[in-house]
Amino acid sequence: MDSVTSKAHEIHFGDLAKAALQQYLAQNQYSKIFILVDENTNEHCLDFFSDIHGSSAETPIIIKAGEVYKTIETCVTVWNALSNMGGDRKSMLLNLGGGVVTDLGGFVASTFKRGIDFINIPTSLLAMVDASVGGKTGVDLGALKNQVGVINQPKMVLIFTELLVTLEPRQLKSGFAEMLKHGLIADRDYWNELISLNESDYHNHIQKSVEIKNNIVEKDPTEQNIRKKLNYGHTLGHAIESYYLEHPIKDTLLHGEAIAIGMILEGYLSHKLTGMSKIELDEIKKVFLSNYPKVNFTQEDIGIIIDLLKHDKKNSHGNINFVLLEQIGSAIVDIKVPVELFKEAFAYYKE
């Protein structure tokens, strides 16, 4: 696959990526090269890079796997590990893992000694198509997702689709939700392609998703305007994800599973407020429900989720702003939604 050059950094695929990393590390005299992994990528992915980092890399820094560990406490562990292993301002951090590793590792690097360089090597489909571009780093604060972070670009993003064979099918589906989002907000033809795919073909479409996201982010890196389109499905999706993450009994939803629901709910809002047809709304619902399990929300669940919305980062001055669709392939930002529509949206989901 070809490389994608973003204004801030380069995104390389496959063989080109290995060569690009080797060349980059040779050209830049880093004092130490650290690798951050989680338990899973330590076991399944690290060996793949033995020929790349060679003897120059330090012992890997290993964190626990899962969104519940995307916390400041985990950051403290990693900052301390970097300190204890003699990390300095000229150190490099390679983040090898899914979105938790790349988001948290990016934040740790951006703040260690007021900022060291980092490179992201996403290992999940979700991280490849989403976390690989845009420079958002951060961690959760209790139930509130990504409350603490900075925007800072990695020096390079390397995508090895071979690593996807290590992923569980449920994780693969989770990443696919972000790809479907790229179709919904920007490209009707891409949506049509995606909805007829088998899971074994997802990897051939990663580059298209990266290009769509990169295109948007370059036009609006600080999310003043069109970058907000990438939040489609995420306003309600994040609230749902937070709720299930913190719930003492209910199973956790993966990010893609939560935003899949968010995209149906916000599809309903789009139908009501920004002119998307009922036919397209039903198509969206059908696609997502055929790919993701239907969740049984109680009225109590729905009440708490709507309450969590007020902490969404995209709010300001007490208004809840949404990205909605005019039609499949075209999104519009900054739409204020009357609160009473939220319950209707859940009712449509449950139909």
Site residues (vs its own copies, CB under 8 A)? 29, 31, 72, 75-76, 79-80, 83, 86, 88-90, 107, 110-115, 136, 138, 141-142, 144, 146-151, 310-311, 313-318
Which residue, 51 or 73, has its beta carbon nearer to its own copies? 73
Which residue, 106 or 267, has its beta carbon nearer to its own copies? 106
Which residue, 103 or 211, has its beta carbon nearer to its own copies? 103
Nearest distance, CB of residue 217 and its own copies, angstroms: 14
CA distance 256 to 146: 16
CA distance 171 to 107: 23
Which residue, 207 or 235, has its beta carbon nearer to its own copies? 235
* Residue closest to 124 by CA, chosen among 57, 197, 178: 178
**Tokens 């982010």 belong to which residue?**
217
CA distance 3 to 13: 6
Nearest distance, CB of residue 317 and its own copies, angstroms: 4
CA distance 67 to 54: 30
Nearest distance, CB of residue 90 and its own copies, angstroms: 4
| Tokens at 77, concatenated | 């562990």
| Tokens at 84, concatenated | 């204890």
Which residue, 31 or 204, has its beta carbon nearer to its own copies? 31
Which residue, 188 or 313, has its beta carbon nearer to its own copies? 313
Nearest distance, CB of residue 312 and its own copies, angstroms: 9
- Dihedral angle computed from the Cα positions of residues 133, 220, 223 and 291, in that order, rounded to the nearest 10 degrees: -50
CA distance 297 to 8: 41
CA distance 199 to 290: 13
CA distance 273 to 252: 31
Q: In this structure, are residues 158 and 188 in contact, taking their beta carbons and an 8 Å threshold?
A: no
Which residue, 145 or 213, has its beta carbon nearer to its own copies? 145
Nearest distance, CB of residue 81 and its own copies, angstroms: 11
Nearest distance, CB of residue 185 and its own copies, angstroms: 21
Element (H, E) at 331: strand 330-336
Which residue, 230 or 260, has its beta carbon nearer to its own copies? 230
Element (H, E) at 10: strand 10-13
Element (H, E) at 205: none
Nearest distance, CB of residue 350 and its own copies, angstroms: 30
The torsion angles phi and psi of 112, rounded to 5 degrees, stand at -70, 120
Q: In this structure, are residues 72 and 148 in contact, taking their beta carbons and an 8 Å threshold?
A: yes
Nearest distance, CB of residue 91 and its own copies, angstroms: 8
